[in-house]
Homo-oligomer: A and B are copies of this chain.
Amino acid sequence: MERYAIFGDILYSEADMKVMERPSSYLIIRDGKVEGIEGERPRDMVVHDYEGMLIIPGLIDMHLHAPQYQFAGLYMDEELLDWLNSHTFPEEGKYSDLNYAEKAYHIFTQDLLRCESTRFSLFATIHSKSTLLLASMLEEAGFAGYVGKVNMDQNSPDYLCEDTEASIKSTVEVIEAMKSLKNIKPIITPRFIPSCSRELLTALSGISEEYDIPVQSHLDENLSEIEWVHSLIPESQSYADAYRLFGLIGRKKTIMAHVVWPTDEEIELLKSANVYVAHSPSSNSNLSSGIAPVRKMMEMGVNVTLATDVAGGSSLSMLRMMTHAIEVSKLYYRHIDQNFRPLSFNEVLYMATRKAGSFFGKVGSFEPGFDADLIVLDTSDIHTTVYDQLSLSERLELYAYRQAGRAVSAKFVKGKKIL
């Protein structure tokens, strides 16, 4: 790939969470990475002109369920465990049919292209073929990220339950098959403790080690779920400790979604194991799970990132997740604990770009050497007398609150224009 430039109003998070703003500037890309930012128009290279538009690092969705996308925005009348049985498992069961998977995953991929995300870590289903189909669709679309074939060998309906041996075997098969992909990578995905026998959990930890592959799962989303885990693994000190006992926290890079009800000891464990928490405010509201103690976890040094968690979450928009995270943090402050002040816009932007990006490598910022993942946002539909006085950060905030969810104007991943 050659060298080219992108012109527009550029902004990104720095390491200290401040926002660097470079209005009317040129982002120079070389070999899929940011080379630098110039004030003058560069010569001898193609310039993608997005004058007046916001250029930001692509947002990163750290947890979502691709097979649930078809009903995102519906069926949120129950809490987690009932919701899984009523709506989620039946829908995921359909992906045993490769034709259905093709239709559904095509819709998902098209909408993912238009949304604000450039990278992700997602759950597929237990079905290897459908999972590989999804992975190849996403690779072809030009995305980068993790796609996890899910493991479930107990406490699951017959049509969505694997033999332990078959679950282990297909996990390895999917990993092997995905070696032919360049940007979409496998991730070990036990659905959650209740879905997986001790034997399966242990085996998955071994595969994670052997293939040097990250791990993702759910943690502390819902009170009934936590009780259930305690009854299943009574020797564990906590839900997080249960994962740790089976080698699924503390060994490899790990994403844990939700973490709404962690004990202080669990937070310490997440911190010492450098786990990435995928905070999912939309889902946690929709399924009445609660408000996660984000500020507390941040203060205790845990990596906190954001996620749509489609379809507990009802939107694919990461900008929406950013404002939603701010909103629920204000309710947490007001109703739960005033020692933990609300999140700021700079903080949620950092979480959705640079912080999440660190899970993948040098991703989520526009400093030299970072992968050139970015989105272009058209603010021309926003009319206000104060617009010209606003900083780029304030314009982005306006866009986030008023227009999140609209199709982005352009999207680049690792320097390649994919929309």
A279 to chain B, nearest CB (A): 14
A133 to chain B, nearest CB (A): 15
Specify the chain B residue showing the minimal Cβ separation from A395: B74
Asked whether B344 lies within 8 Å of A70 as measured between CB atoms, the reply is no
Select which of B288, B315, B386, B390 is within 8 A of A402 by beta carbon: B315
Chain B residues, Cβ within 8 Å of A344? 77
Please tell me if A335 contacts chain B, counting CB pairs below 8 Å: yes
Asked whether B286 lies within 8 Å of A327 as measured between CB atoms, the reply is yes
Most chain B CB atoms below 10 A, which of A394, A401, A406: A401
Please tell me if A169 contacts chain B, counting CB pairs below 8 Å: no
- Per-residue B-contact encoding for A49-91, CB less than 8 Å = 1, 0 else: 0000000000000000000011111100100000000000000
Task: State the CA gap A259–B157 with chains docked (Å).
Answer: 45
Asked whether A398 lies within 8 Å of B290 as measured between CB atoms, the reply is no
Copies in the complex: 2
Asked whether B285 lies within 8 Å of A327 as measured between CB atoms, the reply is yes
- Per-residue B-contact encoding for A386-419, CB less than 8 Å = 1, 0 else: 1000100010011011110110000000000000
Please tell me if A110 contacts chain B, counting CB pairs below 8 Å: yes
A391 to chain B, nearest CB (A): 10
- Beyond A285-B328, A327-B286, A403-B405, whether A397 also contacts B73 by CB under 8 A is yes
Chain B residues, Cβ within 8 Å of A238? none
Task: State the CA gap A196–B328 with chains docked (Å).
Answer: 33
A311 to chain B, nearest CB (A): 10
Please tell me if A271 contacts chain B, counting CB pairs below 8 Å: no
Chain B residues, Cβ within 8 Å of A291? 331, 335
Chain B residues, Cβ within 8 Å of A315? 401-402
- Per-residue B-contact encoding for A145-188, CB less than 8 Å = 1, 0 else: 00000000000000000000000000000000000000000000
Asked whether B385 lies within 8 Å of A103 as measured between CB atoms, the reply is yes
Chain B residues, Cβ within 8 Å of A104? 385
**Interface residues of A, count at CB 8 A:** 48
Chain B residues, Cβ within 8 Å of A290? 331, 334-335
Specify the chain B residue showing the minimal Cβ separation from A281: B327
- Beyond A315-B402, A331-B331, whether A70 also contacts B386 by CB under 8 A is yes
Asked whether A385 lies within 8 Å of B286 as measured between CB atoms, the reply is no
Asked whether B330 lies within 8 Å of A401 as measured between CB atoms, the reply is no
Asked whether A111 lies within 8 Å of B70 as measured between CB atoms, the reply is no
A93 to chain B, nearest CB (A): 13
A100 to chain B, nearest CB (A): 7
Residues of A within 8 A of B (CB): 69-74, 77, 100, 103-104, 107, 110-111, 282, 285-291, 314-315, 323, 327-328, 330-331, 333-336, 342, 344, 383-386, 390, 394, 397-398, 400-403, 405-406
Q: Can you list 15 residue pairs at the A/B interface with Cβ under 8 Å?
A: A71-B384, A71-B386, A74-B398, A77-B344, A104-B385, A285-B328, A285-B331, A286-B327, A290-B334, A314-B323, A314-B401, A315-B401, A335-B335, A403-B405, A406-B406
